[in-house]
Each structure stands twice: as structure tokens, then as C-alpha cells.
Amino acid sequence: MKKLIRVLGTLVVLGIIALLAFIFVPVQRTGPVTQLAADFKPAEGQGEYVMRAGDCMACHTNEGGKPFAGGRAIQSPMGTIWTTNITPDKETGIGNWSLADFRAALYDGVTPNGTHLYPAMPYENYRKMSEEDIVALYDYFMHQVEPVSNKVEETRLAFPFNMRFGLRAWNWLAASYPAGFKPVQGADEQFNRGKYLVEGAGHCAACHSPRNLFMAQDGIDDTSKAFLSGGEIDGYTAPDLRGPDSGPQKWTTEQTAAYLATARNAHSSATGEMMLVVRDSLQYLTHEDNMAIAAYLKKIGTAPANASAAAAKPEITETEKLLTDAKPDMPLGPRLYLDNCAACHIVNGKGAGETFPELDGNSLVTAKSPKGLISVILHGAELPSTADRPMKLRMQGYDNRLSDEEVATLATFLREGWHNKAPSVSAAEVKAVRNLAAH
Amino acid sequence: MARTEKKKDVVLVGFGWTGAIMGIELANEGLEVLALERGHDQATVPDFQYPNMIDELKYGIRYGMMEKPANTTVTIRRSLDEEALPYRSLGTFLLGTGVGGAGTHWNGLNWRPMQSEYRLKSYVTEKFGADVMTEDMTIQDYPMTYEELEPHFDRFEKVAGISGTAGNINGKIVEGGNPFEAPRSDEYPMPAMPSTWDGVKFRDAAKAAGYHPFPSPGGIASKDYKNEYNMQMGPCNHCGFCERYGCYNYSKSSPQTAIIDALKRKKNFEYRVNSEVLRVEKAADGKTVTGVTYFDHKTGEEVFQPADLVILTAFALNNVHLMLVSGIGQPYDPNTNEGVVGRNYAYQITGGYTLFFKDENFNPFIGTGANGFCIDDFGIDNIDFAKEGFVGGAYWRAGQTNGQPGHTMPLPAGTPSWGAGWKKGIGEWYGHAMNIGAHGSVMSYRGHYLDLDPTYKDRHGRPMLRMTYNWHPNEIRQTQFMKQKMEPVAKSMNPTTLQEGFKKEGAMFDVRPYQTTHNTGGTVTGDDPKTSVLNRYLQSWDCHNLFVMGANTFPQNTQYNPTGMVGGLAYWAVNAIRKDYLPNPRPLV
């Protein structure tokens, strides 16, 4: 009995020691994956380019705020995360950070004092970045970004998520793979460049991969089947990028690259979060890099069956017939479509070129979550002005014209029209999205 | 107390078609460019959005997109001995305001004048003898040739996004297009729009009569389109809300669809709205201008905006007004026939037949501003002026632009204009009527001109612009000629009943019914400073750093809608500014 108590006591003590060690022993920080020459200096503009590729601005700049001064609220399932000031201000920013500190934040998700960052910061992906890019990015933030004194609100999640040390265990699961990027031997340069951008700085998987049980990205590279197979962000669907019905697989490489660079192509246009990614990040990449991303995505996906045959034979769908006949007794869904949508998106649901996106086969229309579609119907959408396509094409919202029931009926019609097969939408779902905009 | 703003390289007065063209072309040269717009800012969404825009009462009847006469207007008289009165209630022409200007609310019809029109006086004199011109006719040649302008017409058509069928490509006549058009170097950027049934009926009747119908060329997109600035248009849905409205569908050519978002990306370009230019400021020696003074409607103060180069890019009448109130160039005096500013003002003359068919249904809810078919068989190039006794011509068009009940419900003459009889008439004829229109040229005359009104002042205390204009016997003969030629064509279509609307001898200019907004002249371009305000590059003869765009530069009015010419001239002028003027600012002629 005594022995048992002693053993148990020892275990408890060991446990406490382990727990204390877990909490207090500093995390091992990952060093450089490549030893750069002592006189290495990033090429002019490289740091800014990496910043664009990594889309640092999107999260670390508040709406209407100074660049990189933080303070933007990121809604997570655990609560609101406030982004930090990453300008070189010594008091409130990262002005005192060394290169090793900076690298550790990107690779390990830890700040210089050992605090764990919440993985809203996609260090799971940034961990793949090359030492050259890390140094260039560090150089950019230290020397080219204007220091801004801006003390941002501290992130205070509810228990147990306020126990940041817990992330140490999460990191064992999510971000323990060797840092740095391993090109695929034998693959061409374009493939590897695309892979590097997608898996690393571009952190596409942060939205486009599903999350596993532990809320980690389900696969951080293309060896995982779930990688980029579609995810969810704030209740909106981030579409699959690899399946035969996905954009990058249906479209030509040039069309995907155009989508990335201009938020539009001959089929579709970017809305919501993806529109912001194009606005703040992808439009600044070179054509070669966007082509590399598009080519890589195509290579790791499943090509649609008989794609060319379908394209060659335009068929008249039942939906198109229904809309063209426009019989007085047609149901409300097609009637609403004719009255509000057909002028641009056309009765065949194919829209027009790069100006009016097609709705037949559109991933936003058929998304698992109808939230994005409802939001566009209610509030419209605007494309960003980009170098290649400067026009801020804007679809108006219909929130003051259509009731919740009507939007639900219309959305259901779209999700079942032409070749689309997606579940119906309820008025309650519309109401929920409408109420979101109220605050 | 006037404030002074930081000096700019270029200041543009007005931000419509020519302001946008000058803006993007000069911003591309790296210059600091500022556009001052009298009106408000506006964009397709939300300002033109569906369904708010297709409100006939607000925009079609109450002219929601137009400049209010209470803010800016002209005074009008028909002869030197009349007292001019302010144009207080919009009617015969509609002046736009706001970003995009009249380029937002037009119908979209886009033309290049015929070949003889560029050297009209020489053409008339050589071919028919000077005697065919009336004594008071002051027409003159353009100081540049069609061949010189052609690349700039081509460019404007491609920027604006014009749909049409070419009829003459480099001298080769193309079946289906206008065989009488001046040779073009290329196709229209988009194929012609399909026509409604009224246009098709006219096409067939015109063909049967031996004429040469072709689809109306217009800035209405027949497909999705992208121009040289990578700006986009989407295909038109024929909703029938073009003129008086902004297009909610990105389908009508406008500064908004063709240029503005591309221009806004340029850091060296800025535009200020609610900034109404009051005058151009001359340097002490009078040989250059130093900038403009504008009224800032937001702060309620006058602002001096210095600039190296000033370009007037407002509507024709406003450009002339600014020249007069700024004292640049000698005002025209019809008594002595001396002076140039205000000289050669011209309007246009329209007429037509309305045909009623009991058994035809034209579905008037389908339409576009540039719908239907045209013929140019009675264009300026094709008429024997000596034989017919007038100088001028017209193009004809049939194609419904709208079926809006408030202002587009033609009824047979004699139908009561209210009450049960009117209702019965509407029931009987709405949707069963079509129109063939003749859109005619107007020559310039000694007695038709613009000057400053001696009595009426605008809200800034400036004398208003005074218009002296009336129908001239030459144009009455021209329009009566069109009637005579059109009647058999209209009758050949076997309408149940038909009626004509052509001006007759003794007709006086009436400002109440809408006619056209095609006001021309006042600061015309020419070879001789005694008969023109601007040289061949639309540069002021008096102040070399002042250029003036717009239909006010036309020496006489063409038979066509002027936008194609205005756009072509703008590209012609800006080409000279970029290549010749900027490297060495000086009088270019």
C-alpha cells in the first residue's frame, strides 16, 4: 500500500515537473534551414514581394488603419483574435526583434518571450518558407515599413484557449515537420515554384484544406489527399481546388492565373475572402508565379472527365428552357431570376466573358455552405481594381428588394439550376446572413 | 476669399468623355493631372443600379441626371431683335452633369462624319459652285483631313466599345455595312447589335426601294468586351433605358465603362467633384493662361488652381461660355462679322414619319439607344446641292429606343390628349407604332451665334451664355427634301395610318420639345485665326497652353450624332499634345 502511494506520489511529482516543464521550459526555436553567405542581401523588392505572397497585410492591417499596425479582429471558433502590430516600432511593434525572433514567429509560432501565437497566424505554412525569403521579409519589415506606434487590443480567449502553453502540444501535431521547402525531385521548376508558393507563403491550405479533429490543417502538402480539398472559414466555404469540378481543374492554366491576378476570368470571379486575397496579395505576383500556382494546382488535381467533349457541345438545359419560355405560371425561383439576374448572368447561366460570371457550375453557388451565395445576393460583390483589369466591376445587392423567403427561393433555384446540384437554402439561413450585416 | 491649391501640370475642366481621355493619356505621360468636375461623383453601382435607375418619372420625365437649369442654363432668342430669355425648363436639349457627363446619359449612337464634311466649303464650292451657299452661310473646312483623323476615330471606337458593321474597310466596300462611310482602317470592335422588328421592317423597305440599309453603329455592347485600358463591358439586354439614364448593366459605352477605373489607379491623377470652374485665368501678357478659378461647392469658396496646361473638357456650351467669361479670344459680332468666340453655333434638324400598324406588335419594351437600321443614301456626300437647292444631308434610322409610357407613346393625330379618348387610343396603338427618323445637318450662319447675355446672370454673378438661333430656310429645304424621299418608303410598308413630323417653311425654333442635345460651334477649329478660335490641334490661337475639346470645335454641324467626332478629335489633339507640345510648349501652328 505504502509502496503504491510512493509510486503514485512519484508519478504525481513527475507529472507536475513535466507540466511545469511543458509550461515554462522555453520552446526550441528552429534555426535557419540554409546557411546564407555572410554578405547575403535580398534583391531590391524581394522582401515586399514575399510580403505580398504571404499576404501579411490582409490580417495585420486594420480597415482604414496604417499598414501593418495590426488591430484587426479575426473571428475564430475560439473567440476574437486581435492581430498584432508588425511595424518596426520598438514599443508596440516588432522593432526589437532579431532575425532569429522573426524566424521563430514564422516557423514555430512563438514570440521572443516564448509566448505561443495562435495559429490564426499560419506558421503551419510559413514554416515552408526559404531562408532567403525569411531574411528578405525581415529586412522589409525592419527597413521599409514605417514604424507605427499602435498598441493593439490583447487577445483574450476564454478558458481553456487562454492557456497559450497548450499550443505547444498542438504544435507537435500541426507544425513539427522539418522547416523549409523540399522541392520534388524530377518535377519541373514551374511545378516546384507553384508548390512552394501554395504550400508556403501563400498559405492556401489555411482556408482551402479541411481542419482535422484538433483544428489543424488536414494536410499541409499534396501528399495528403485532403490538402486543398476544400475548407471553411467563418462559416463560408473555401472551395475544393483539386476535384474534377473545381475551378483550377476545369479551367485552363491561363484562366486560373487570370483569376488569381485579376479576381476574374472567363468563367468566374472572386468574392469574399478570396477577393481580398487577390486585392492584397495575388495581383502583385508576377505572371510567371501565378502561372506556376495554376500549373501546380492542375498537376495535383483530378482532371474532369471528357472536359473537351462537354465544352464542344453546348446543350440547352431544362433550366434554360424554363427561363426562355417564361410561362406565366412558372415558379417563383425562375421568376426572380428573370427579374433580377438574367440581364447579366443570362438564361443559360453562363454569364458573359470576364464581365458577368457564370452561375452554372460556379463553386460559390454550389458551395457546401450557402452563406457566400446568400451574402452576394443580399449585399452584392465588387471586384478589386488590378493592374491587368482595373475595373471595379460591382454587382449590386438585393437586400432591400428581396425578402428572406425570396432570397432563399432564388438561391435554391440557382443551386439546383442548369447542372448544379446543391442542397436547398432556407429563409432562416438568409435571415442569419442578413443579420450579420446589421452590426 | 480665394484659396490657392498646389500647382498641377494639367487641369481639365469637366470630367466626361474628353476629360477622361485627356486625363488618362496625359497621366500616362507622367504628368500631374487634375480634373475639376462641376457635378457629383457617380459610378455604375450604386448610382445607376437596377432597378432604381429605370425610373421613368425620376429620370425620363424629371431629368434626374441632368444639370438643373436653376444651377446652370443659357438664354435663348431666335433673332437679333428678340430679347433672349433663360431656358428654365428642360426641353429641346438636355445637359448632363457629374462624373461621366453627357457620356453617361446618351443613346450611344456613334459616327464619323462623311468624307465631304471635313472640307465642306471647298467641296461645295468645287462641286456645285459657291452660289449654292446662302449669302449668310459661314461654313468652312476643317483644318485637318479625314485621313489624319482616321487612326484617332479608330482608337476612340475601340476605347468606347462600339458595335457595328463596317461598310468600307480601306476602300473595299463590305456587304451589310454602310457603303457610303469614309474608309475605315478596321472593323468595329464589336459586331452590330441585333435589331428589333421595326428596324428590320425598315431595312427591308429601304432595300426594296434601292437604298443601302446597315445596322446602326453604337456604343452598346453586343458581347463582352475589353478595351486598350483593359476596361470591360458586358452584353446589353435591350432594356430600353439608354437616353436620359445611366446604364446599370455595364453595357453602354461611357467614361465609367471605358476609362475611369483605369484612370483612378494613377497616382498622378486626381479629380475633384462639386468644383465648378468660373473662369480661366490669363497671364499678365495675355499670351498664356496660368490656371483656373473654381467654386468649391463643399466649402463655398473660390479656389485658384494654377496649372501649366489648361484643357477645357466640359460640354460644348460650357466651353464656349468659359472662353467668353475669361475674355480669351475676340467675341463674335454678327453685325460686323468679326470676332470668333461664339461664332458658328449650330444645332441639328430632325424629322420623321410615325407609322401605325393595327396588326403588328413591336414589343416596345425591347430597345437600345442605338437600335435598328440606318441608311445614308441621303447623306451629305450623296446629294446634288445645286439640283436640290440646299446644302446638307441626313441619315435615317428606324429602331425603337424605348417603350416608356411617360414619353414614348406615339398616337395618331387627332387622338385626344387626355381622358377616355386618350385611354382608348393608348389601348389601340401602344406597341403598334414605329418611327423612321431623319437626323439632319445644320450649316453655320452669320446670325447664329453665342455670346454673353446683357441681362441675365448665373448664380456666380457671371453673365449667362446667350444663344441666338432659328431654323434657316436652307435646313427647312433639306428637311422637306427628306420628307419627300421618306414618304414613299414609309407608305411602301403599308401602315394602317401614318403621320409626318417635318419642319415646314416658317417654322420657328421651339425649345420645348426634345430634339437633340447636339450643340456645336462657338470655338471652332480652323486655319485662320480670323475665322477660328482654335488651330488644327484644338489649341487656342491666343494662349498656347490652353486647348479646347468638344463639339464646340465643329465649324458647322454634321448630320450625325457628334460623340464619335468629339472622341476622335480628342485623341487627335492629345496625340499632338503628347508628341509635339509637351517636349516644347509653344503655338503648334
Q: Do A390 and B230 touch (CB under 8 A)?
A: yes
> What residues pair up with B295 in beta bridges, in sequence order?
B276, B302
Closest C-alpha among B181, B152, B156 to residue B166: B181
Instruction: For chain B, list residues whose CB is within 8 angstroms of any CB belonging to chain A.
Output: 43-46, 49-51, 223-226, 229-235, 237, 239, 248-250, 257, 261-262, 264-265
Q: Do A393 and B232 touch (CB under 8 A)?
A: yes
Q: Do A355 and B264 touch (CB under 8 A)?
A: no
How far apart are the two ends of chain A, measured CA to CA in Å?
63
Active site residue B518: yes
Shortest CA gap B190–chain A (Å) = 14
- Domain presence at residue B196: yes
The three cell numbers of residue A112 are: 521572443
Instruction: For chain A, list residues whose CB is within 8 angstroms of any CB belonging to chain B.
Output: 340, 342-344, 352-356, 380, 382, 385, 387-396, 401
Residue with cell 432595300: B207
Distance between CA atoms of A286 and A288, rounded to whole angstroms?
5
Shortest CA gap A350–chain B (Å) = 12
Residue A310 pLDDT more than 70?
Answer: no
Q: Kindly report the CA angle at A345 between A341 and A350, in degrees rounded to 5?
A: 150
Cβ burial of B425 (10 Å; 0-12, 13-18, 19+) is middle
User: What ranges in A238-331 are assigned the alpha helix state H?
Assistant: 247-250, 253-262, 272-280, 287-299, 307-312, 318-325
Cβ atoms A352, B222 nearer than 8 A: no
- Domain presence at residue B411: yes
Averaged confidence pLDDT in chain B: 97
Give φ, ψ of B45 to 5 degrees. -115, 125
Question: Which residue in chain A has the smallest CA separation from B263?
Answer: A390
Q: Which of A355, A385, A396 sits opposite B233 (nearest CB)?
A: A355
The three cell numbers of residue B326 are: 475669361
For B202, B208, B388, B432, the CA distances from B487, given in Å and listed in that order, are: 12, 14, 17, 19
Q: Which of A342, A356, A390 sits opposite B229 (nearest CB)?
A: A390
> pLDDT digits over A397-431, tens only?
999 999 999 999 999 999 999 999 999 999 999 99
> pLDDT digits over B156-191, tens only?
999 999 999 999 999 999 999 999 999 999 999 999
Distance between CA atoms of A311 and A316, rounded to whole angstroms?
13
Q: Tell me the pLDDT band of A27, cut-offs 50, 70 and 90.
A: confident
Question: Which residue in chain B has the smallest CA separation from A381?
Answer: B45
Shortest CA gap B518–chain A (Å) = 30
Q: Tell me the pLDDT band of B1, cut-offs 50, 70 and 90.
A: low
Cα within 13 Å of Cα(B539), Cβ side: 24
Closest C-alpha among B251, B237, B197 to residue B373: B197
Question: Which residue in chain B has the smallest CA separation from A389?
Answer: B230
The residue segments making up the domain with residue B385 are 3-581
- Domain presence at residue B588: no
Give φ, ψ of B73 to 5 degrees. -155, -175
Cite the beta strand spans of B339-413 per DSSP E.
Answer: 343-346, 349-356, 373-375, 394-398
Cα within 13 Å of Cα(A52), Cβ side: 18
Please report residues of B whose CB lies closer than 8 A to that of A389. 226, 230, 232
> What residues pair up with B66 in beta bridges, in sequence order?
B96
Q: Which helix (H) or strand (E) holds B435?
A: strand B433-440
Q: Do B250 and A355 touch (CB under 8 A)?
A: yes
**3-state class (DSSP) for residue A251:** coil
The three cell numbers of residue A211 are: 481542419
Q: Which of B224, B261, B265 sits opposite A355 (nearest CB)?
A: B224
> pLDDT digits over B254-302, tens only?
999 999 999 999 999 999 999 999 999 999 999 999 999 999 999 999 9
Q: Which of B44, B237, B265 sits opposite A343 (nearest CB)?
A: B237
Helices B473-492 and B197-208 pack at an angle, to 10 degrees, of: 100
% chain A with pLDDT above 70: 97
**3-state class (DSSP) for residue B319:** helix
* Strands B3-4 and B301-312, sheet pairing: parallel
Q: Do B232 and A355 touch (CB under 8 A)?
A: yes
Distance between CA atoms of A398 and A337, rounded to whole angstroms?
12
> pLDDT digits over B47-66, tens only?
999 999 999 999 999 999 99
Averaged confidence pLDDT in chain A: 93
**3-state class (DSSP) for residue A35:** coil
In three-state form (DSSP H/G/I as H, E/B as E, the rest C), the secondary structure along A53-117 is HHCHHHHHECCCCCCCCECCEEEECCEEEECCCCCCCCCCCCCCCCHHHHHHHHHCCECCCCCEC
Average pLDDT over residues A327-351: 96
Cβ atoms B538, B577 nearer than 8 A: no
Closest C-alpha among A298, A223, A224 to residue A260: A298
Q: Which helix (H) or strand (E) holds B232?
A: strand B232-233
Q: Do A388 and B239 touch (CB under 8 A)?
A: no
CB count within 10 Å of CB A408 equals: 23
Distance between CA atoms of A152 and A158, rounded to whole angstroms?
18
Residue A308 pLDDT more than 80?
Answer: no
Residue A21 pLDDT more than 80?
Answer: no
Closest C-alpha among B427, B374, B371, B446 to residue B402: B371
Q: Tell me the pLDDT band of A437, cut-offs 50, 70 and 90.
A: confident
> What residues pair up with B24 in beta bridges, in sequence order?
none
CB count within 10 Å of CB B357 equals: 20
- If you ran DSSP here, which 8-state letter would residue B533 be given? S
Candidates B24, B223, B228, B261, partner chain A, best to mutate (most A CBs within 10 A): B261
- Domain presence at residue B446: yes
C-alpha dihedral over B319, B320, B321, B325, to 10 degrees? 110
Residue B113 pLDDT more than 60?
Answer: yes
> What residues pair up with B3 in beta bridges, in sequence order?
B303
Distance between CA atoms of A89 and A66, rounded to whole angstroms?
12
- Domain presence at residue B586: no
Distance between CA atoms of A404 and A427, rounded to whole angstroms?
5
Distance between CA atoms of B201 and B225, rounded to whole angstroms?
29
Q: Do B223 and A401 touch (CB under 8 A)?
A: no
- The pLDDT value recorded for residue A439 is 52
**3-state class (DSSP) for residue B520:** strand
Please report residues of A whose CB lies closer than 8 A to that of B45. 380, 382, 394-396
> pLDDT digits over B126-158, tens only?
999 999 999 999 999 999 999 999 999 999 999
Q: Do B226 and A343 touch (CB under 8 A)?
A: no
Average pLDDT over residues B487-514: 97
- The pLDDT value recorded for residue A311 is 58
> pLDDT digits over B194-246, tens only?
999 999 999 999 999 999 999 999 999 999 999 999 999 999 999 999 999 99
* Alpha carbon A254 to chain centroid, angstroms: 21
Q: Do B234 and A356 touch (CB under 8 A)?
A: yes
Single-letter amino acid, residue B541: W
Question: Which residue in chain B has the smallest CA separation from A392?
Answer: B261
Average pLDDT over residues A321-329: 96
Distance between CA atoms of B475 and B134, rounded to whole angstroms?
11
Q: Do A390 and B46 touch (CB under 8 A)?
A: no
> pLDDT digits over A71-107, tens only?
999 888 788 999 999 999 999 999 999 999 999 999 9
* Strands B463-468 and A73-76, sheet pairing: unpaired
How many residues belong to chain A?
A: 439
Candidates A350, A391, A401, partner chain B, best to mutate (most B CBs within 10 A): A391
- If you ran DSSP here, which 8-state letter would residue A382 be given? E
Distance between CA atoms of B9 and B104, rounded to whole angstroms?
27
Total number of domains in chain B: 1
- Domain at B508, CATH number: 3.50.50.60
Residue with cell 475548407: A231
Q: Tell me the pLDDT band of A25, cut-offs 50, 70 and 90.
A: confident
Average pLDDT over residues A24-32: 84
- Domain presence at residue B371: yes
Catalytic choice (B105, B152, B518, B544): B518
Distance between CA atoms of A124 and A54, rounded to whole angstroms?
13
The three cell numbers of residue B414 are: 387627332
Q: Tell me the pLDDT band of A51, cut-offs 50, 70 and 90.
A: very high
Residue with cell 452598346: B220
Residue A438 pLDDT more than 80?
Answer: no
- If you ran DSSP here, which 8-state letter would residue B369 be given? T
Please report residues of A whose CB lies closer than 8 A to that of B235. 352
Q: Tell me the pLDDT band of A168, cut-offs 50, 70 and 90.
A: confident
- Domain presence at residue B589: no
Q: Do A356 and B224 touch (CB under 8 A)?
A: yes
- The pLDDT value recorded for residue B111 is 98
> pLDDT digits over A188-219, tens only?
999 999 999 999 999 999 999 999 888 889 98
% chain B with pLDDT above 70: 100
> pLDDT digits over B458-468, tens only?
999 999 999 99
Cβ atoms B452, B324 nearer than 8 A: yes
- Domain presence at residue B511: yes
Cα within 13 Å of Cα(A84), Cβ side: 16
Average pLDDT over residues B305-332: 98
Average pLDDT over residues B542-560: 98
Question: Which residue in chain B has the smallest CA separation from A343?
Answer: B237
Question: Which residue in chain A has the smallest CA separation from B237?
Answer: A343
Q: Do A389 and B230 touch (CB under 8 A)?
A: yes
Q: Which of A352, A388, A396 sits opposite B45 (nearest CB)?
A: A396
- If you ran DSSP here, which 8-state letter would residue A383 be given? P
DSSP string, B16-84: SHHHHHHHHHHHTTT--EEEE-SS----HHHHT-TTTT--IIIIIIS-TTBPPTTTS-EEEESSTTSPP
- The pLDDT value recorded for residue A26 is 74
> pLDDT digits over B392-418, tens only?
999 999 999 999 998 899 999 999 999
CB count within 10 Å of CB A292 equals: 25
